[in-house]
Structure 1
Amino acid sequence: MENCSLTNIGYSGQWFTWEKGRTRIHNIREHLDKGIANSPWWDLFPNFKLCHLSHAFSDHCPLLLNSNFGNQHSKQWYFKFEATWLLEESCEIEVSRIWAESLGAVPNKIKAMGVGLEEWFQKILKKVSYKERVGKVVASIE
């Protein structure tokens, strides 16, 4: 690889790409399959993503290379409820408020709920981050 000026491009997903043995005692997992590239390739595809997918019929995981990962303009938005939101005291109040204020049929209300909860939680994260920074400054002064 070094002689050809190639480097490993990294990956996302499970750490192994090859598996042998189905029982826990005899199972072996290795990271055998890799994506490699040279400098001109990196210049051509700066927004790539290499994923290790799950395998079913082979002992090797398929690799999926998306060469335009960062430039996807038509990305579908999906609502994902985060369990950590339940730890916040204001979560139940916020859910009730968003549901009551949203208009239309249930699918519209669910989308409004997702957007509203994400905005609400971002505000909470900013407050926590601000409090932590102020706390560190106060602690360093003392």
Structure 2
Amino acid sequence: MGDFNEVLFDSEKQGGRRKYRVHLDEFKSTLDRNDLIDCQPAKGWFTWTRGSPDNPIIVERLDRFVATHTWLATHTNFLVHSEFADRSDHCYLVMDTDYKVMSPMQTERTEYFRFEDCWSNEPRCIERVAMAWTTTHGTVLDKIQAMGSALHHWQFHRASNNIVRIAKLQRQVNDGLANRNARLDVPKFKAIKKEL
């Protein structure tokens, strides 16, 4: 597995200048000489992106898993896919060597409340604190506990909404990068990357 900095076929690049045919042929020849086979991803075709509002988007399949015939014969249930990474111009490339189709399972997670300083400027947070403080009778400790409870629920719903939104945006990016034959909607792709 690695960043080979080269593509095998013209379909593995969109945007920018075309790759020189001699480079594609040399890469194919190197894989053939070493008896290596390209393990194509089941999901996520392009693995590298570059672009900014001033420059056009370029997407390429630079990262890949390669394997020998022997390895492929002993690992018949492998699955390769890529996932968008918001902190890098390369996608995550993942290989599951013992892939099995499983039914979705829900796991319980414990959410812990922790006050984030950045919330202190959010109007909804300020409203929750004021309401909990003024409507709670008792000691200062009772009021602080009421504020913590109110903020915990507010933070949980806020985080849930953010997780859903981020997952939706990442799915849109992954879908855009996954199809090797479709043209990338560059303005939409840039807007999604900026929001992430």
TM-score range (shorter-chain normalised) is 0.3 to 0.5
- Normalising by structure 1, we get a TM-score of 0.48
In terms of Rg, which structure is larger?
2
- Normalising by structure 2, we get a TM-score of 0.35
